[in-house]
Chain A
Amino acid sequence: MTDHVVLRVIGKLLIPFILAYGLYVQAHGDFGPGGGFQAGVIVAAGLILYGLIHGVAATQRVVPPRLVEALAAVGVLIYAGVGVVTLVLGGNFLGYGALDHSPSHGQHTGVFLVELGVGVAVASVMLAIFYAFASRKPIASGGGRR
């Protein structure tokens, strides 16, 4: 759809704001409605809009499938990693209180980090699903089914 001027211009205008809004929802999750899942979906929606206008190949130049796969794993690792860190610091698994001197600060940091992990994982999995549907070649696969 690259030949549609209106789509291209509006997309160019909107996508930065969509991505920024995603970051806002991510960061604002502990004060109001929002959090990692919603933020991840919003960021992925921005990228998918880019893909709808400029094609999958262009999107994959911005965010290669290999990177998407790795980021999905990193997201889960952040989440589980926070849990393991609290465990090492002497708390229970995901007992954020152990992360800081005062438990309430610890809770704050813990939730923020965990939500960050959720955001990264959700955004990349959404994008991976989009790639899987939109491209002929399955994501990160060497050959077809025999």
Chain B
Amino acid sequence: MDHHLPVLVVVTALVGAPLCILVRQPRVVWGLFTAITWSIAAMAVTLLLQVLSEGPVRYALGGWPPPLGIELRVDVLGGFVLTIVSGMAAVVAPYSLRSVEQEVDAARVHQFYAVLLLALTGLLGLTATGDIFNAFVFLEISSLATYVLVSLGRDRRALVSAFRYLVMGTVGGTFFLIGIGFLYVQTGTLNMLDLAAILPQWIDTRTSAVAFAFLTVGLSLKLALFPLHLWLPGAYSYAPSVVSAFLAATATKVAAYLMLRVFFTVFGQAVAFGELPVAATLPAVGLFGALAMSLVAVFQTNLKRLLAYSSIAQIGYIVTAASLGTQAGLTAGIGHLFNHAMMKGALFLAVGCIAYRIGSVRLEEIRGLGRRMPWTAAAIFVGGASLVGMPLTAGFISKWHLVSAILAEGQWGLVALILTSSLLAVAYVWRIVGFLYLRDAPSGAAPVREAPLSMLAPTWALVLANVWFGLDTRGSLGVATQAALGLLGGQP
């Protein structure tokens, strides 16, 4: 059964979605969702270990050999991202029981979990596939499911945000599809490895350059790279807490993964960084975005919105690191992909705990919560420290490698931008911490209890992961190094 793992990872989630619809009973559906996400996570880890020891795994769907048929191909990077996505789903599952009961209509709970599983299917499939058109299909599956998830938020503004996300996301998806169309016209194949073999001889044509541009811009929209980020703050702010946490930790990461695939697997490092001006443009765009979005985050009054802007800034870091085109940069980018999933997952889950108890995530409403919800507040404190990049946390490792990768290129200006935006991160995290610990509770505030254990435990699991991967980087950067090597064509 082992060689079926690449497809089983995806299909288990796909089969789970209709089962949720048929079962209907909210508690049973939740149990099913938990069982499915945990088993997928177990499979993804097995797959990653298998890939680490034996090299990339290929799987011909329907028994049709590639490039004729669709192929799934999982290398170290793919296995790593599969593990991040399925791991986040597994962590969110126990948390979702209470949170979803409170935030989503009882009559819609089974649909909520079904759509969440469809989103998971899309994200996993997109990561596992070795066919670029198939990647588009999975990208759209996950996006369509995500629009629905965002619109299920309690706030009426969730609908507007979902619609805005729908419009921008569709534009991004269409750009990506147009890019694929150009590639297909030029090469006659859609298999990524096949493309990589054929494309170099056609790289001087305008068609290939246009294809590259469309793919890059389309994916930048999907991963909310500044200035194409406008859909993200609303979508993360008004979605149900579980969805915010899950999306923040996975959706943009997977889009970033796809961008790496296009840059390094399809076009190849030599083309993307030799013939095309990626290294000259994207790092600066990414870092300017990081700076601008950190600045915007400082002035937010809604905690979720603040974290959303911070997410856009972090995406800027990931894109910057990856588009340096060096092995060090790539390692830093992939490592930050993982570390950022840990920190934003932890922070959004903690904020979800606050939303669960006091029904609001506005900064003035969380005054003095540090004493009334000590565990949640402490989770935000540690998660925030990791976001800033304090030593002993995962965030520090990310920043350290990012800065050294840029220094290796001798780009002092970019380093200055990173340090400035890190200072801004200190400012907005300090603002949250100040409201939590240093202000008195609003007079006449209703007594608040600590969040239930089923929500605290997943939150703290991620918080502790932040500390763990700040001390022991074998699981994060060790794998990221192998993934980077694999992308650059060395032995994975």
Identify the A interface with B (CB < 8 A): 69-70, 72-77, 80-81, 83-84, 87, 91-97, 140-143, 145-146
B209 within 8 A of A: no
Q: A77 to B291: give the CA distance in the assembly, Å.
A: 47
Interface size on B, residues (CB 8 A): 24
B22 within 8 A of A: yes
Q: Across the interface, which residues of B come within 8 angstroms of A141, CB to CB?
A: 105, 107-108
Q: Known: A92-B60, A93-B61, A93-B62. Contact between A76 and B107, CB under 8 A? A: no
**A94-B62 in contact (CB<8A):** yes
Q: Across the interface, which residues of B come within 8 angstroms of A77, CB to CB?
A: 15, 18-19, 22
Whose C-beta in chain B lies nearest to the C-beta of A121? Answer: B18
Q: A30 to B147: give the CA distance in the assembly, Å.
A: 35
Q: Across the interface, which residues of A come within 8 angstroms of B490, CB to CB?
A: none
Q: Known: A84-B15, A92-B61. Contact between A72 and B107, CB under 8 A? A: no
Q: Known: A76-B14, A83-B11, A143-B107. Contact between A95 and B19, CB under 8 A? A: no
Q: Across the interface, which residues of B come within 8 angstroms of A140, CB to CB?
A: 107, 111
Whose C-beta in chain B lies nearest to the C-beta of A142? Answer: B107
Mark contacts of B19-48 with chain A using CB atoms, 8 A cut-off: 1 yes-contact digit, 0 otherwise: 101100000000000000000000000000
Min Cβ gap B129→A in Å is: 12
Q: Could you tell me the dominant secondary structure of chain B's interface residues?
A: helix
Q: Known: A92-B63, A143-B107. Contact between A80 and B14, CB under 8 A? A: yes
**A73-B61 in contact (CB<8A):** no
Q: Across the interface, which residues of B come within 8 angstroms of A94, CB to CB?
A: 61-62
- Those of B106-128 within 8 Å (CB) of chain A: 106-108, 111, 114
Min Cβ gap A138→B in Å is: 9
Q: A92 to B18: give the CA distance in the assembly, Å.
A: 22
Mark contacts of B123-137 with chain A using CB atoms, 8 A cut-off: 1 yes-contact digit, 0 otherwise: 000000000000000
Q: A145 to B4: give the CA distance in the assembly, Å.
A: 43
Q: Across the interface, which residues of A come within 8 angstroms of B106, CB to CB?
A: 142
Whose C-beta in chain A lies nearest to the C-beta of B153? Answer: A145
Q: Across the interface, which residues of B come within 8 angstroms of A146, CB to CB?
A: 154
Min Cβ gap A102→B in Å is: 14
Q: A146 to B107: give the CA distance in the assembly, Å.
A: 13
- Those of B436-479 within 8 Å (CB) of chain A: none
**A73-B11 in contact (CB<8A):** no
Q: A70 to B22: give the CA distance in the assembly, Å.
A: 6
Q: A70 to B20: give the CA distance in the assembly, Å.
A: 10
Q: Across the interface, which residues of A come within 8 angstroms of B21, CB to CB?
A: 69-70, 72-73
Whose C-beta in chain A lies nearest to the C-beta of B17? Answer: A76
Q: Known: A91-B63, A96-B62. Contact between A142 and B105, CB under 8 A? A: yes
**B107-A87 in contact (CB<8A):** no
Task: Choose among B4, B22, B62, B106 the residue with the greatest number of A CB atoms under 10 Å from its CB.
Answer: B62
25 residue pairs from A and B, CB less than 8 Å apart: A72-B18, A72-B21, A73-B19, A76-B18, A77-B15, A80-B15, A80-B18, A84-B11, A84-B15, A87-B4, A92-B4, A92-B60, A92-B62, A92-B63, A93-B4, A94-B62, A95-B62, A96-B62, A140-B107, A140-B111, A142-B105, A143-B105, A143-B107, A145-B154, A146-B154
Q: A69-B21, A76-B18, A142-B108 are in contact. List 15 more A-B contacts (CB 8 A).
A: A73-B19, A73-B114, A74-B18, A80-B14, A80-B15, A83-B11, A84-B11, A84-B15, A87-B4, A93-B11, A93-B61, A93-B62, A94-B61, A94-B62, A97-B63
